[in-house]
Structure 1
Amino acid sequence: MGVEIKVDGLTKSFGKQVIWGDVSLTIPAGEICVMLGPSGTGKSVFLKTLIGLLKPDKGSIVIEGTDIATCSERQLYEIRKLFGVLFQDGAMFGSMNLYDNVAFPLREHTRKSESEVRDVVMEKMELVGLVGAEDKLPGEISGGMRKRAGLARALVLDPEIVLFDEPDSGLDPVRTSFLNQLIVDLNAQIDATFLIVTHDINTARTVPDNIGLLFHRHLAMFGPREMLLSSEEPVVRQFLNAQRIGPIGMSEEKDADELEAEKDQELPALPPIPLQLEPSNGVARRSQRPPGEWCREHGVTPPPGSFEENMSMATGA
């Protein structure tokens, strides 16, 4: 069972440069959340702050009753045991084979015997589909396999929170699709809290239970997937639907002249909200909601064609 992460009034800056300020959100226990934002908006900084690698200027991050923004190093060490992290490039030790890479946290942080270590390592490698590749070096395998090996290593201590820093970075669309399915299947199996930082819009539209968007040094919105995918808020609408019209420009924000030139242009229609990706076995995850439930509960009419054939049933139409 995952644990809740409650963030309140979080602010982080480097020198005079404010990265983001007054960020408040609650990442629900056991759910999959995605954090989006244009390049340079501090998504990876947010992950590093959540795990205590960076200290915020203000605000709190409460996990299991402990505020990791102000706790002692000893308390932080204990809280970090709840985390597993998949880094952008997998962060494999190049001189170690995959088995030893995955075994590394167990050998460093537990007193398990080598036979116990082997049982855990092989279990996690089987979860990510790498059984048979344990003797290969990171340089001998594809980027997708390195990501899966990094994920196996992130899981060996049975974390209750798993952070994914751009897991699709460097992967082609097909391998990104396989990785997305793996993430959903893992969440169904281990019921941990997942937070994914990504630029991939298809991932954001189909995988998570909740979506957040960082923009212009603040959290523009955070909430259930259907809330953001049906939102008319300009920056949310533009980013989640990969549109050119809106406040985001090549240098993050558009200037006043660009916005003035766009004001009479008709916005493209919101695309249909896709069905959320389900586990491979077809059994819904604990946190997965029926298609259209949020829209129905809040009186929101989703874009035409949303949820395919399930939409009429889900909305009661």
Structure 2
Amino acid sequence: MGVEIRVEGLTKSFGRQTIWQDVSLTLPAGEISVLLGPSGTGKSVFLKSLVGLLKPDRGHIWVGDRDLPYLPEAQLYETRKLFGVLFQDGALFGSMNIYDNVAFPLREHTKKSESEVKRIVMEKLELVGLLGAEKKLPGEISGGMKKRAGLARALVLNPEILLVDEPDSGLDPVRTSYLNQTIVDLNAEIGATFLIVTHDINTARTVPDNIGLLFRRELVMFGPREMLLSSEEPVVRQFLNARKIGPIGMSEEKDVSELEAEAKQGHDPGKLPPIPPQLMTSDGRIRPGQHAPGAWCAAHGVTPPPGSFVDDLGRNWVEEWPRYVASMAPAGGPPPGAHPGGAPGHFPGNPPPGQQGAGAGY
């Protein structure tokens, strides 16, 4: 199971430039969280701070019971072993084949025999669908395969926390969908705590259990997926709907005169789009971090936009969910590991539309 991360009052500056200030959030153990924000709002800086590569000006990062910014060097080094990181471009060594790239952390940080290294590397390559490509160089494979090779390398030390920096960068929408499916399947398989930085709205709307948004040097909102997808907060609504109307401008934020001009012209921010069903695992299992569709809205008296939680086959998962849970439950109990309420999925023998395992060729 993954480790909970609690961030309290975190502030980071470079010289006189404040990147963000007083950021507080909790990444629940074993759940998938997404961090959004316009370009230049410090999302990658936040990831580097979480893993201890950058020290904040003030604040706390609790990884379990360890306050990471204040750890002695030796303890910081040990705590970093809890993390796996997938960089934007995969960050593979160009002179090494895929096998040696994935094996590198094991050879660098452990004393395992080569036979044990091989077993682990092949296991992780199989997990991300890259068996058969281990002898190829990074220059001989596609962008999607590079991402998955980087993901395999991030997994070889069995991390309890996985940081993923813009997995969609450089990928077309189809390959991004395949990679999203791989991430969801991995979360179900290894139970790690995931934090994904992305600009991809489809990823943000369908993959995570929680969403956060950075803007104007602060964390505007962080919470369950349904909370943000039903939010009337102007910047959240603008970003998640990819609209021009709102506080975000071409160069970071709009000034007061621009916002006043928009208001005078009576621009309508538009209706909130339906909240889609959450992406399910390839085999239909329930991830522990998932919640019943519509559960947050119901618990907080929020009416979701019309058409929410309806899949491509026209099934309303608020209505279908109880039958799904019953169909998946072993005799005498709920599905193993199911969070109370669970998540949308498919009935056995009826694959969810558009959800497939990771393809080997992208």
Q: CA deviation at 1:243?
A: 1.1
Structure 1 Cα separation of the partners of residues 93 and 58 of structure 2: 35
3-state SS of 2:167 partner: coil
Structure 2 Cα separation of the partners of residues 56 and 305 of structure 1: 43
Alignment match, 2:158:
158
Matched, 1:313 2:319: yes
Matched, 1:118 2:118: yes
Matched, 1:199 2:199: yes
Change (3 A) 1:22 1:140: same
3-state SS of 1:69 partner: helix
**What per-residue deviation string (whole Å, max 9, x for no partner) do you get for residues 111-135 of structure 1?**
1110000000000000000000000
Alignment match, 1:266:
268
3-state SS of 1:119 partner: helix
Q: CA RMSD in A?
A: 1.2
Q: CA deviation at 1:70?
A: 1.0
The letter for the 1-side match of 2:316 is N
Please show how residues 1-317 of structure 1 align to structure 2 within 5 Å. Answer: 1-263=1-263, 264-308=266-310, 309-310=315-316, 313=319
Structure 1 Cα separation of the partners of residues 289 and 89 of structure 2: 29
**What per-residue deviation string (whole Å, max 9, x for no partner) do you get for residues 136-161 of structure 1?**
00011011000000000000000000
Would the aligned equivalents of 1:292 and 1:315 in 2 still touch at CA under 8 Å?
no
3-state SS of 1:306 partner: coil
Q: CA deviation at 1:44?
A: 0.1
Alignment match, 2:337:
none
Structure 2 Cα separation of the partners of residues 311 and 251 of structure 1: 40
Change (3 A) 1:314 1:237: farther
The letter for the 2-side match of 1:313 is E
Structure 2 Cα separation of the partners of residues 244 and 237 of structure 1: 11
Q: CA deviation at 1:313?
A: 2.2
Would the aligned equivalents of 1:33 and 1:194 in 2 still touch at CA under 8 Å?
yes
For structure 1, list consecutive stretches of 5 or more residues without a partner in the other structure.
none
3-state SS of 2:223 partner: strand
The letter for the 2-side match of 1:234 is P
The letter for the 2-side match of 1:242 is A
Would the aligned equivalents of 1:291 and 1:314 in 2 still touch at CA under 8 Å?
no
Identity, % of aligned pairs? 76
Q: TM-score normalized by structure 2?
A: 0.86
Q: CA deviation at 1:311?
A: 5.1
For structure 2, list consecutive stretches of 5 or more residues without a partner in the other structure.
323-362
Structure 2 Cα separation of the partners of residues 157 and 300 of structure 1: 42
Q: CA deviation at 1:77?
A: 0.5
**What per-residue deviation string (whole Å, max 9, x for no partner) do you get for residues 245-272 of structure 1?**
1100001111122111211222210000
Q: CA deviation at 1:314?
A: 7.5
Q: CA deviation at 1:64?
A: 2.0
Structure 2 Cα separation of the partners of residues 221 and 246 of structure 1: 16
Structure 2 Cα separation of the partners of residues 26 and 312 of structure 1: 27
Q: TM-score normalized by structure 1?
A: 0.98
- Aligned pairs, number: 316
Structure 1 Cα separation of the partners of residues 278 and 197 of structure 2: 18
Structure 1 Cα separation of the partners of residues 120 and 318 of structure 2: 45
Structure 1 Cα separation of the partners of residues 27 and 267 of structure 2: 37
3-state SS of 1:249 partner: coil
Q: CA deviation at 1:310?
A: 2.3
Would the aligned equivalents of 1:84 and 1:162 in 2 still touch at CA under 8 Å?
yes
Would the aligned equivalents of 1:166 and 1:197 in 2 still touch at CA under 8 Å?
yes
Would the aligned equivalents of 1:291 and 1:310 in 2 still touch at CA under 8 Å?
no
